[in-house]
Amino acid sequence: KNEVEQSPQNLTAQEGEFITINCSYSVGISALHWLQQHPGGGIVSLFMLSSGKKKHGRLIATINIQEKHSSLHITASHPRDSAVYICAALNNDMRFGAGTRLTVKP
Amino acid sequence: ETGVTQTPRHLVMGMTNKKSLKCEQHLGHNAMYWYKQSAKKPLELMFVYNFKEQTENNSVPSRFSPECPNSSHLFLHLHTLQPEDSALYLCASSQEQGQGGYTFGSGTRLTVV
């Protein structure tokens, strides 16, 4: 069993829908990262959080340390949000989830 | 551009070739990482350098050889690779190992024929 589990693996949504991607981890962490990977392969860091909630534009990330669970929400989704979203737990090393492939259809 | 530059973006090499991947950052970060991403698998850590010293070698075969001449540059030297080594190789950096935000490069897509 992977130390970082994401769900769902694949997600298809219509433009404008509210999206939620979940991440559970079993290791102790100093921070939890949400990353975005576009088809070309490059990875962009969206959030790094260790408690509570962070918001950037239409993206919101939350974390519950006690439950070892984090969620990434996208409001008013758009086709350009289509990408793979990766959750990563940081504690000296980064442990990665397998990613959630999101497709937003117009 | 994220601040971490990887070259080349694509590489096709034969099993008997020797090639090198390059990673460069001018973010003032002191830790640099090589990751391998194979199809449908999570990113796998290969090597970590912290303040130019190698601190992690995650059981990587010796046909992969890292080099970190200074805090801004990281190389991955490749020789006698196997087809199963075909993958996306990603470089990342952070302020120090395990601290701060990670900045990733765009990756080198390697195909071994």
What's the pLDDT tens digit per position in A6-53?
999 999 999 999 999 999 999 889 899 999 998 888 899 999 999 999
Can you give the pLDDT at residue B105?
A: 94
Q: With contact defined as beta carbons under 8 Å apart, do B108 and B88 qualify?
A: yes
What three-state secondary structure class fits B49?
strand
Contact B43 A86 (CB under 8 A): yes
> Closest to A48 (Cβ–Cβ): which among B45, B48, B101?
B101
Whether pLDDT at A105 is above 90: yes
Whether chain B has a CB inside 8 Å of the CB on A86: the answer is yes
C-alpha–C-alpha distance, residues A29 and A92, integer Å: 9
pLDDT number for residue B58:
84
What DSSP element (H or E) covers B32? strand B31-37
State yes or no: pLDDT of A1 exceeds 70: no
